[in-house]
Structure 1
Amino acid sequence: MTAPDRPAPPAWTPTAALGRAVLLTGLLLAAAVLLGRVDLVVLAVPFALGTAYALRRRPTELPQVWISADEAHLVEGGEVSGTVSVGNPGTVPYDVAVLRTRVSPWLRVTRAALAGGDAPTGRRASPTDRPFVTSVSPDTAVDLELSGTALRWGRHRIGPAGARVAAGQGLLTSRAVYAEPIRSRVYPKTEPFDAVEAMPRAAGLVGAHHSRRPGEGGELAGVRVFAPGDRLRRIDWRVSLRARQLHVASTLSDRDAEVVVLLDVLAEAGRSGGVAGTASVLDTTVRAAAAIAEHYLHRGDRVALLEYGPSARRLRPATGRRQYLTVLEWLLDVKAQSSPHEPYDQVFGPQVLSADALVVVLTPLLEERSAQMLARLARSGRFVVAVDTLPSDLTPPTDRGWAEVAYRLWRLDRDTMIAQLREHGVPVVPWAGAGSLDQVLRDVARLATAPRVGGR
């Protein structure tokens, strides 16, 4: 049996001031009748007339509250701005409007002031910790302007915001009206990243990387004898005159590559301090993924994203600026997700990874399952590069007995695991911004071009 719907609270209710005015007027009139004193009636008349005059126009419309934010491309460390507005849709002015809002701690609000007012000064806490009071004329709205700095990537809330107003000279008050929060998108700050042109294997038809196949390109492969089908502009006249036979300059074709950025989200470590503070595992992972994607997309390569976790989110490979914006939007929803099960088969379904793709795995290597995943990818013939995203300044707690010794043992075990991965052909390098993967990509490209020995 369902419970009956509760009646909605009244839109406007009398305040304690109205109760006191009515009570005082009644007491004076009653005393005047009982005691036969006219002077008490004279004293009651101002209270009665003042109350009646204040209530001659009673408000019927509740205030309106809404939140808006700047929709510009906002990056970590950039300036964020928003507005919380309270409006009066009726014909009766609001004598007092009390407005209050909440803001995500990752949006550091340094200025919060009503339109035309001054910002609060000398406050250590956020300016939004206090309510704001104003008056609102009929058919107008008053804006609370917020400005500050975005400290961390993600979708951060501005709101909820609530307002409560008083009208009729403070004799009537409205019920609280709330506005749903909105989320401001803050994209990760891409750290400087550059990599060599060497790629393990280029599989596309066009691109900026030099493949091992002859074709139309800019990389000289050698000089050979002219053959039917060769273009005349490829003739090397100097060699042809010396050899008394037509020779052409052969080139290597330019191909694009597919780069798969795999984000290990099984565990989180470290404490995030925002763009100017310490970086957690997720901070390093997201910022490195954005930098790698930006670099290869700028070169015309195809970039795909995968999450190694229970949700197994994926972003199909594509090229261009639209893909870069899609990558940034996709990275906003990255979060740590622990799972008791092995997500390998769930993540790497059929036809997810191309045989020629370069797989860059961003992992803190905090779980054995992550190392097993890297080893399985390497055994399957993939070109895998592991980027260590564990913070270098991670320190153990010193006030928990054997915690420091346990931390040192865990570090030794992790170093052993990394050494075993390198023995299996998986290079592991810490993320250090520009040039982090240069030497590794050279080694992987060298291994890819080396002749393979096939067993009988």
Structure 2
Amino acid sequence: MTDGGPPAPRADTTRRAPRWSVNPPVAYGASAAVLLAGLALVTAHPAFALLALPLFLAVAAGVDRRPRRGSEVTVSTRLSPDRDGSGVGYEIAFRLPEGVEGVAILLNAADDRSHRFAADRATAGRLAGTIPITHSGPQEIAEVFYSLLGASGIALTSPDPGPSSSRLIPAPRLRMESLPMPHRVFGITGAHGSTTPGDGGEFRDVALFTPGDRLRRIDWKATARRAQVPGELYVRRSFSTADAIVVLVVDDRDEVGADVTRWAGAKGGVTTSTSLDLAREAASSLAAAYLAAGDRVGFRDLAGTARSVEPGGGTRHLERLQSTIATIAPTGEPVRSVRTPIVPASSLVVVLSTFLDEQAATMAITWASTGHRVVAVDVLPEPELQSATREEQTAFRLLMLERTDRLDGMTASGVERIRWDSADGGAVPAVQLRLLSRPRRMR
């Protein structure tokens, strides 16, 4: 690596001494050679010996070139982002001992597909390709199994596990230009006007000069008009500017996809975005947008599996938030939190959930009732019922009726709602946020 260049991706490596065994066809061939040689001796016909000779020579050549016992095989896997960002590029390298001619490889990829292929000794030195990535968050990208073939096919090894490469895939970020603000903003400085007297904001009034006022604030025209006695001065006063405090609360207790038949926990890969994929995307996009505007952003999760991040600002804080958001994962069986997460006073609370149960909705209503501005982000993917049975469709309709009633109750309590669905296109969440960012009356 040259100075100043990007660091080389780390490699996941395994070293293993394989266990060799005779290839069954070779064993059969050796047995046939012995049988033919025996027939030649018994029948005194040299034709049988001539037939057995090539088999003996092939077996002898293979035994002479067989890999030595205890010789190790080194397998390394390197992952790097794909150029177009649609997946992860992989590079698998085999360091084979002498006497190995080929490798049979099984690659289990993150797209829930298994790839089987064979490579000769030269090709196995570098195998490259791309694995498409559908989901964000922690996941296993590539898992390798391999079996070796000795010279002339005399010996082979039983399948051995190679390296398993897991990575933390960051969520994509959408561009947000207009963002909703809390009911009140506080702080020494920031990009938003506040109702607190100070510097940097809009005009407030003209008042008599008092100790502590800056000389540059003296309004000489107002002084000339209003001064009654010599030495009386008037200054222009303004409101201060402040930053907003935004707390992102992610409901990571469970994860559902678009296929309703899998909501009960059916095994198998999910090829479309899940609720946590959308939640990570929304949280990452909102965190980047608010921090770019100079506000402070914090993070909470309802399951308690990811660490909480206190509100802060700056580039390093954004990196901390992004890495924390990327680590959120479902806990398996949904759990109930003991208490509502604590958020700073006068915060904008953004709750990202599917709202399939009452806990996230209850917390949102509680925060709204205590004076916070609360925005509920619905991250439930558009449900698909094509493969659902009649019973599953009935259960789904009942669940959606309860969910609709829950969402209406939140709206009646002052919680504002938007829907985040990647199927709608990237501009739709931004448009919904722009509608919520219209000026509101200060409280």
TM-score (norm 1): 0.76
Question: Matches of 2:334 and 2:121 in 1, distance apart?
Answer: 56
Three-state SS of the structure 1 residue aligned to 2:236 is strand
Q: Which residue of 1 aligns with 2:415?
A: 426
1:362 matched to 2:352: yes
1:79-98 aligned at under 5 Å gives the runs 79-88=87-96, 90=97, 92-98=98-104
Which residue, 59, 70, 78 being the options, matches 1:68? Answer: 78
Deviation (angstroms), 1:177: 2.7
CA RMSD in angstroms, aligned pairs only: 3.6
Query: In the superposition, relative to structure 1, how do residues 19 and 396 fare at CA in structure 2: closer, same or farther (>3 Å)?
Result: closer
Three-state SS of the structure 2 residue aligned to 1:169 is helix
Query: In the superposition, relative to structure 1, how do residues 23 and 337 fare at CA in structure 2: closer, same or farther (>3 Å)?
Result: closer
1:323 matched to 2:306: no
Q: Which residue of 2 aligns with 1:105?
A: 111
Equivalent AA in structure 1 for residue 245 of structure 2: E
Deviation (angstroms), 1:161: 0.9
Equivalent AA in structure 1 for residue 303 of structure 2: G
Cα deviation digits, residues 39-65 of structure 1 (max 9, x gap): 654554443344323322331224322
Deviation (angstroms), 1:103: 0.4
Equivalent AA in structure 2 for residue 48 of structure 1: F
Cα deviation digits, residues 372-406 of structure 1 (max 9, x gap): 22222233343323233344x44667975587777
Q: Which residue of 1 aligns with 2:373?
A: 383
Q: Which residue of 2 aligns with 1:18?
A: 26
Q: Which residue of 1 aligns with 2:61?
A: 53
Deviation (angstroms), 1:357: 2.2
Question: Matches of 2:18 and 2:286 in 1, distance apart?
Answer: 57
1:371 matched to 2:361: yes
Question: Matches of 2:164 and 2:400 in 1, distance apart?
Answer: 43
Which residue, 163, 181, 191 being the options, matches 1:208? Answer: 191
Deviation (angstroms), 1:198: 4.3
Deviation (angstroms), 1:38: 5.1
Query: In the superposition, relative to structure 1, how do residues 338 and 221 fare at CA in structure 2: closer, same or farther (>3 Å)?
Result: farther
Q: Which residue of 1 aligns with 2:288?
A: 294
CA contact (8 A) 1:64 1:177 kept: no
Three-state SS of the structure 2 residue aligned to 1:425 is coil
The count of corresponding residues between Structure 1 and Structure 2 is 405
CA contact (8 A) 2:259 2:383 kept: no
Deviation (angstroms), 1:412: 5.3
Three-state SS of the structure 1 residue aligned to 2:197 is strand
Q: Unmatched 5+ residue regions in structure 2?
A: 1-15, 261-270, 421-427
Equivalent AA in structure 1 for residue 429 of structure 2: G
Query: In the superposition, relative to structure 1, how do residues 166 and 25 fare at CA in structure 2: closer, same or farther (>3 Å)?
Result: same
Three-state SS of the structure 1 residue aligned to 2:167 is strand
CA contact (8 A) 2:182 2:346 kept: no
Deviation (angstroms), 1:68: 1.3
Q: Unmatched 5+ residue regions in structure 1?
A: 1-7, 107-125, 451-456
Which stretch shows the higher mean deviation, 42-51 or 259-268? 42-51
Which residue, 251, 255, 260 being the options, matches 1:264? Answer: 251
1:129-278 aligned at under 5 Å gives the runs 129-136=115-122, 142-196=125-179, 198-244=181-227, 246-266=233-253, 268-271=255-258
CA contact (8 A) 1:29 1:40 kept: yes
Q: Which residue of 2 aligns with 1:122?
A: none
Question: Matches of 2:178 and 2:383 in 1, distance apart?
Answer: 27
Query: In the superposition, relative to structure 1, how do residues 423 and 342 fare at CA in structure 2: closer, same or farther (>3 Å)?
Result: same
Q: Which residue of 1 aligns with 2:268?
A: none
CA contact (8 A) 2:94 2:126 kept: yes
1:353 matched to 2:336: no
Which stretch shows the higher mean deviation, 17-26 or 37-46? 37-46
Deviation (angstroms), 1:297: 1.4
TM-score (norm 2): 0.78
Equivalent AA in structure 1 for residue 59 of structure 2: T
Deviation (angstroms), 1:37: 4.6
